[in-house]
């Protein structure tokens, strides 16, 4: 309803251009069962079969905006985000992305301790640092391309590797305790070929460099929370 109302209001107000943030969660679950070879090119969206209600909502909202473009000339840009992270983002409470969650867990745990991880940690993902996401969005908005396009990193890692990267940045060696919990799809990685073709640009920041920028900020938040709790 929010997106339908936004598209309607933008059309009535004569908005010159509007951005919609979709998500990689709208891709079919059947293309994300192999952790080593997920298929997430933009043309793989159909037959539709997202693995969650969130994914279905994103897919439907894409169609809402494209319908307003077709019928009323709404100038829309649509990006399918792939796990954006960085400082100033959500870092606690259960809605944070995996890099932020592991930064928090590692910051809270003394060297030699143990952190928990849902599943076996062999599921794969890619994560994009927020500054590069903003650059990609700016380039998309400045372009004439109005179809949905991926915005994300193609550096695919296992969740175990992600946790090890955070430990490396923190200078800690911790044990990982694998516990039951929600896993999502087994493999997800951005396919940036279309974005590169249309925008002539690709992200270049390595995941560990993004973690180096993010971990100190989350560590600071953890320390502030400890002081506030006393």
DSSP structural state of residue 125: E
168 backbone dihedrals φ, ψ, rounded to 5°: -60, -45
The span from the CA of 150 to the CA of 24, in Å, is 8
For residues 114 and 106, what is the distance between their CA atoms, to the nearest angstrom? 9
Q: Look up residue 94 and give its DSSP letter.
A: S
Among candidate residues 174, 175, 166, the one with its CA nearest the CA of residue 219: 166
Contact call for residues 157 and 207 (beta carbons, < 8 A): yes
∠ CA 36-134-192, rounded to 5°: 30
Q: DSSP character for 24?
A: G
Q: Cα 205 to the chain's mean position, in Å?
A: 15
CA distance 157 to 27: 19
**Is 54 a residue of the active site?**
yes
Q: Which of 8, 30, 46, 54 is catalytic?
A: 54
Active-site residue set = 54
């Amino acid at each position: 309803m929010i997106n339908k109302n936004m598209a309607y209001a933008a059309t009535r107000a004569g908005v010159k251009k509007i951005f919609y943030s979709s998500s990689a969660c709208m891709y079919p679950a059947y293309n994300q069962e192999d952790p080593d070879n997920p298929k997430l090119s933009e043309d793989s969206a159909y037959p539709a079969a997202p693995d969650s209600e969130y994914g279905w909502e994103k897919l439907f909202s894409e169609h809402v905006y494209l319908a307003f473009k077709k019928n009323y000339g709404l100038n829309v840009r649509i990006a399918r985000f792939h796990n954006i992270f960085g400082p100033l983002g959500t870092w606690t409470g259960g809605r944070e992305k995996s890099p932020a969650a592991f930064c928090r867990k590692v910051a809270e745990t003394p060297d030699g301790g143990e952190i928990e991880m849902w599943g076996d940690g062999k599921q794969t993902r890619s994560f994009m640092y927020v500054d590069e996401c903003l650059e990609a969005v700016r380039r998309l908005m400045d372009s004439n391309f109005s179809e949905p396009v991926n915005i994300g990193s193609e550096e695919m890692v296992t969740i175990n590797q992600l946790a090890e990267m955070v430990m490396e940045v923190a200078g800690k060696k911790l044990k990982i305790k694998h516990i039951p919990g929600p896993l999502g799809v087994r493999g997800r990685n951005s396919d940036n070929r279309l974005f590169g073709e249309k925008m002539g640009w690709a992200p270049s920041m390595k995941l560990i460099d993004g973690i180096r920028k993010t971990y100190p900020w989350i560590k600071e938040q953890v320390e502030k929370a400890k002081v506030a709790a006393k």
